[in-house]
Amino acid sequence: MTSHRSHPSYWAFVLHRVSGLVLAVFLPFHFSLLVQATEYAVGFDGFLKWSEQPMVKLAETGLIVLLALHLTGGVRLLALEFLAWRDWQKTLVAVCGGLSLAIGLLFLVNAV
């Protein structure tokens, strides 16, 4: 008997949940930075210099990949809700993951 955890849709579900949780943790920091940008220009300039470091760029790329994974996972869920199940939907999981990585790599190339 095959475990449901080996099915591609299960891993798409896990990635969608994990990416959503990481983005939810990131959002308060993002909003805090927006406040800093509008109220404390000197501190924000220091943050912008810090953000030019290669590890920060790599972390930004990871964030973009998570955002793309969450977006494509949401599109996959909409397809499951509104379209009849077909075997090609397993392929859709792989396409969504590939698109997410491509978007992240495109961001990395433009960020460097």
Q: What is the CATH number of the domain that holds 105?
A: 1.20.1300.10
Residue 89 covered by a domain? yes
Question: pLDDT of 22-79, one tens digit each?
Answer: 888 988 888 887 887 778 777 778 888 888 888 988 888 888 888 888 888 888 788 7
What number is the average pLDDT over the span 100-106?
A: 83
Residue 2 covered by a domain? no
List, in sequence order, the alpha helices (H) in 3-111. Answer: 8-39, 41-50, 54-82, 89-111
Residue 1 covered by a domain? no
In sequence order, the 6+-apart residues with CB closer than 8 A to the CB of 104 are: 61, 62, 64, 65, 68
Residue 4 covered by a domain? no
Residue 34 covered by a domain? yes
Contact 77, 17 (CB under 8 A): no
Residue 23 covered by a domain? yes
Name the amino acid, one letter, at 2.
Answer: T
Residue 6 covered by a domain? no
Residue 25's Cβ-count burial label (10 Å; 0-12, 13-18, 19+) is exposed
* Domain carrying residue 28: 12-111
- Number of structural domains the chain divides into: 1
